[in-house]
Structure 1
Amino acid sequence: MEVLARPFGEFQTNCYIVDKKIIIDPGIGAFEWIRENVKDPVAIINTHGHFDHIWDDKKVKEYFNIPIYIHKNDAFFLENDQFGFNPPKVKPDFLLNEGNYKIGDFYILIRHFPGHTPGSITVETSKFLFSGDFIFDGSIGRVDFPYSNPEDMKKSIKKFLKIPYDKKMYPGHGFATTIKKAQKFLPMWLEYL
């Protein structure tokens, strides 16, 4: 399973391409890079609805004629910008819940980890976990934005700490890490929230 990664925009938001088929978080200016690196993609998956993760959703969706997946609690972000940056508005095609999904030939586990946004999710394949802005290498997503919730983030961290296995983890910003490495520092954040 191949993962291509590149940061985009002022906030250096990571866009990922999994096996040239699944596009995760096409942010500001990601479209051209995506077009050069995919072959018959099957879906866009947004880890959450913040503008820097969904900016090129509309371009990618329309160019490749593929659906957008996002958690049901974050779908409103795609049509109503909350930060005044005015990303292109687009309607999502599939509203996710926590659970297992088959998208194209891929089996994907979606876990719901609210806190940074109401519909923050992780996207898990057989080998990798994409954590969006829930967890970074050594940090967690901010909880002082509109629709963020520190109490939800605490619950989400406790839930994440129960994952019993390790995988490489790709966050929404910064460098890759692992589940086990994240689990070592996360308890510290429970004290600060």
Structure 2
Amino acid sequence: MVFKDHKQIDSGDSSSNTIGDGNVTNNYYTMDIRQPKRSVLTKVCLSISNSDLSDEAHYDLDSNSDWIKKYEYNEVDVFQDIFEIYSLNYPIIEQVLKNIPKDREIMIRKIHILYLQTKRKSFEGSDYMSKGDQVLEEIFSKIKNIVFDELGDDPNKDEGRYIEEFEESIYLIMFYSFTKCKILEKPI
């Protein structure tokens, strides 16, 4: 139905205005997923590849696992939601890693070594986190320590970047490593 005196007003700030009689308002919501800054993502990748972990083995980085089966097999719940958020930025990490090919493989090997060291610990499932989530949380903490040790005491002083940006990059790199089967076990 079209109203004779109906006017559309743009508020400019994405808020809604309804003026007149009999107007219908449709609200659409979108989730704002920030893309990580490439410079932060590159810095995190290089920090990991420069860490002092051994990186002897060679890995095939061209294959992806069946994520859902892998989540179930490894009893991942919390990190499934986290990885889902960052999966939309998968092409970004692919582009960043193409620009640092040598460090890409070194970084993934070192993350795999962190995983192997972490999975040896004895984790018990809890009401809060499953065993798989606990392993991933431990890996996240170790990578965060590696990155912040490389950056120094205050990561915020590095060109005004925030800790959250570095954490987002770490989650994205972990997700990438997860899809390449370098973190957690492949389902049998």
Q: TM-score band (shorter)?
A: under 0.3
TM-score, normalised relative to structure 2? 0.21
Q: Which structure carries more strand by proportion?
A: 1
User: RCO greater where, 1 or 2, for CA within 8 Å and sep 6 or more?
Assistant: 2
Q: Which structure carries more helix by proportion?
A: 2
